[in-house]
Chains A and B, each alone.
Chain A
């Protein structure tokens, strides 16, 4: 399968714990995006990378959130000191610079107890 992959698919954690999610984009896609989707809503943009550079961050991305794409390939999204309000589906997408279509992964569903 050469699509966008995300790991883990599901994560249950206790409030206050740290969690890290991984996204592997489609090979050669130089743009990578993170979105958050809560139940019954459309996705909300969090941040995006072009190669290894993080070029834009939403105000939704509080200080507890950090994202990296160290070698311009896979990306990680870390949430520190999780809160119940962080419970959501975290979606990753990738694209090529010259095209508009973003290809999405299956998402990581986070539940904070």
Chain B
């Protein structure tokens, strides 16, 4: 069975600085997808960035980028120029690429605090 581990329950960063959130996963599959979702307080889960395992190039979305290390089964999220609106719970999630398995498997989350 696949598992996702986020070892940082809480991280804090000064506004405008850069922060990296860690995620590791365990799987025996070779093809899969990885996601970072953001859940602001009392608001709904939104997708931040996704990575296809077959792609060697790391995904980037504006101030958000990932460091995908397939052999190490690591998938970290880097947030550059942190803003107050980035404060939220961040969840790393895994999804098999198999045609019969569409569920997301989630980590426990990292609470990101932005210091003004």
Contact = CB atoms under 8 A, between A and B. Distances in A.
A-B interaction = yes
B108 A42 contact: yes
B106 interface: yes
Interface stretch (B13-21, B43-51, B70-78): B43-51
Contacts, number: 56
Given A40-B108, A41-B108, A100-B50, A33 B103 contact: yes
Interface in A13-63: 31, 33, 35, 40-45, 48, 55-56, 58
A106 B43 contact: yes
Given A33-B103, A40-B109, A44-B106, 17 more contacts: A31-B102, A41-B108, A41-B109, A42-B91, A42-B93, A42-B108, A43-B45, A43-B91, A45-B105, A48-B102, A48-B103, A56-B101, A93-B45, A100-B95, A101-B35, A102-B47, A103-B47
16 contacts: A3-B44, A35-B104, A40-B109, A42-B4, A42-B93, A42-B109, A43-B45, A43-B104, A43-B106, A45-B105, A56-B101, A100-B33, A100-B95, A102-B104, A104-B37, A104-B45
Interface of A: 3-4, 31, 33, 35, 40-45, 48, 55-56, 58, 91, 93, 95, 100-107
Interface of B: 4, 6, 33, 35, 37, 43-47, 50, 91, 93, 95, 100-109
